[in-house]
Structure 1
Amino acid sequence: MHIEWKKLLFAMGVPLGVGVLSAWTTREAMKQYGGLNQPPLSPPGWVFPVVWTILFLLMGVSAYLILTAQVLPQPRARAMYWYYGQLAVNFFWSLLFFNLQGYLGAFLWLCLLWVWVLMMIRAFYRISPAAGLLQLPYLGWITFAGYLNFGIWYLNR
């Protein structure tokens, strides 16, 4: 298998860059998270950056598979539309939840993210089943995050 290194570095750099930017913009607001009433099954704080790093790496690999797939431009453009869109929605969730402490609004925004990720998975799977399947942990994590987000809103209103 021939690796196109420039495309791979780009594909890995974009989601990791979004993750770094998100962490940087919410770094001060993260401190208040530990003081909130947490729902059952809430993981310790160190779990979040570990999981998100893994998920962003999986996003990068998936994007690389789409960028290098032998496919017509239109399906690739549609898949990448959902990909970049979900990254943007993901980024703004952090601001809503951590910086603005709008927990109910963040939950609703997370529901929107869930739909965007599902659409991305669908578009990716049509081009590369492996690329689509690599995103299932992300969808699972967002589902769990929805439970946590809703629980935090409910317990801290």
Structure 2
Amino acid sequence: MTALASRGQLRASFIRWALFTVPLVLLLGFLSGQFGGDARSAWFQSLDKPAIFPPPMWFGIVWSILYVMMGLALAIVCAAWGARGRTTAIVAFAAQLLVNLAWSPVFFGLHDIRAAMIVIGVLDVLVIVTIVLFWRVRRSAALLLLPYLAWILFATALNWQFLELNPDGGTDVENGAQQRYEF
């Protein structure tokens, strides 16, 4: 016997990890969306929307698919026992996920388009780093993150256009005040 684990044992390890990571990533994404603010808020409705802004229903659909793919990618790396760089890749994934989860509360909760632009810029970099690190552990895991990278780059362009179209940060419709942020 030249292998440390059989194919069946490796597959079982991946399945166990996936049963943990996929629901966890989905749950965290859902909670961030629920508690981070609301796209139906009066503030968001008052914003000028970019021409490339898709129908709102697509965000829930796309994010659900992406969170499943992210959870599967993480499961692949977690199941790669003994792989060089595995721990670093997992830490990078956790860091980018935390930044990902911070975007909705900053944009929708705090109504801070500029700060959300900074958050998503940091996210772009962290996702690229995570993909590189995943590639070194398991290429299939890195490939699963490519649609996520494409979507957040699109989201970055959307965030930028929201900022360009709403330089004053939008109107706080609930009390009639206007919010302004300057750095």
Are positions 1:3 and 2:8 aligned together?
no
- Where does structure 1 differ by over 3 angstroms across 4 or more consecutive aligned residues? none
Distance 1:105 1:70 in 2: 38
Q: Following TM superposition, by how much is the alpha carbon of 1:109 offset from its aligned partner in structure 2, in angstroms?
A: 1.0
The count of residues paired between Structure 1 and Structure 2 equals 155
Contact preservation (8 Å) 1:71, 1:127 = no
Are positions 1:118 and 2:128 aligned together?
yes
Q: Following TM superposition, by how much is the alpha carbon of 1:7 offset from its aligned partner in structure 2, in angstroms?
A: 1.5
> Any idea what SS the aligned residue of 2:12 has?
coil
Distance 1:46 1:7 in 2: 30
Unaligned 5+ segments in structure 2 are: 1-7, 168-183
> Any idea what SS the aligned residue of 1:65 has?
helix
Distance 1:119 1:133 in 2: 13
Deviation by residue 1:17-38 (Cα, 9 ceiling, x = unmatched): 21111121035x3213344211
Deviation by residue 1:73-96 (Cα, 9 ceiling, x = unmatched): x61110000101111001111111
Q: Is the radius of gyration larger for structure 1 or structure 2? A: 2
Sequence identity percentage = 33
Contact preservation (8 Å) 2:22, 2:68 = yes
**In the alignment, which of 61, 64, 88 is matched to residue 98 of structure 2?**
88
Contact preservation (8 Å) 1:11, 1:60 = yes
Deviation by residue 1:103-124 (Cα, 9 ceiling, x = unmatched): 0110111000001101110010
CA RMSD for the aligned pairs?
Answer: 1.4
Moved more, 128-137 or 9-18: 9-18
User: Taking structure 2 as the reference length, what is the TM-score of the superposition?
Assistant: 0.80
